[in-house]
A and B are shown apart, each in its own frame.
Chain A
């Protein structure tokens, strides 16, 4: 058990809909990361938050947005869903949020939220 909690574990919805994925980081971790894992794209970095602020952005679509709340949990919002958005969405947390050898720690991943868009 990594200590990172993601809900829901499975979600089935229709094209055009909107869903929200939730992540609670490990106790004490300030950084939250979102990754998407799909068959054709592999594991892709979406976005990182550190203590409520966006710190790094990857290949996140404009239809997707995220935020980190004062209690450090994070939500990933996916809207106008398309078939190609079907994927496993991982949240990860770490204690560090800045670059540099002293601060780059391992990421602890949740079990993922499997999204199926029909």
Chain B
């Protein structure tokens, strides 16, 4: 069965610090997708990134960067120069294809990030 582990339940940083959110996954599939979503206090889930299992290149988008390492089954997320607006719960997720054409995302338990002034 698929599993996503986010061991960090809560992280507190001071504004402008860099912070890394860890994600470790388990799957028997050779083809899969990994995702990060952000859930701000308002409650909606905001898509941040999708990465497929064949692309191990790191990705940078502004202050956000992602490090995918297949050898350690990890997909970590780093926020550089954090801001108060980054305060949210961040979820890592793994896609799971179903026989018959369905698919679903398995989510980790989330990491609550608090950025303080």
Do the beta carbons of A101 and B54 come within 8 Å of each other?
yes
Do the beta carbons of A111 and B43 come within 8 Å of each other?
yes
B95 neighbours in A (Cβ, 8 Å): 104
Do the beta carbons of B97 and A104 come within 8 Å of each other?
yes
Q: CB within 8 A of B102: which of A42, A48, A88?
A: A48
A105-B50, A111-B44 given; A45·B105 CB < 8 A: yes
Q: Looking at chain A, what size class is its interface with the partner chain? A: 20 to 34
A43-B91, A101-B31, A104-B33 given; A88·B43 CB < 8 A: yes
Query: Does B101 have its Cβ within 8 Å of any Cβ on chain A?
Result: yes
Query: Does B104 have its Cβ within 8 Å of any Cβ on chain A?
Result: yes
Q: CB within 8 A of B104: which of A56, A108, A110?
A: A56
B104 neighbours in A (Cβ, 8 Å): 33, 45, 48, 56, 58
The stretch that binds B, out of A16-24, A68-76, A78-86, A92-100, is: A92-100
Do the beta carbons of A48 and B103 come within 8 Å of each other?
yes
- How many angstroms from the CA of A101 to the CA of B95 in the assembled complex? 10
Q: CB within 8 A of B106: which of A45, A88, A107, A112?
A: A45
Q: Which of A55, A96, A104, A110 has the most CB of B within 10 A?
A: A104
A49 nearest CB neighbor, chain B only: B102
A–B complex contacts, Cβ < 8 Å, 28 sampled: A2-B44, A2-B46, A43-B107, A45-B104, A48-B103, A50-B101, A50-B102, A56-B103, A92-B45, A97-B101, A97-B103, A98-B101, A98-B103, A99-B97, A99-B98, A99-B101, A99-B102, A100-B31, A101-B33, A101-B52, A101-B54, A104-B103, A105-B50, A106-B50, A109-B45, A111-B42, A111-B44, A112-B44
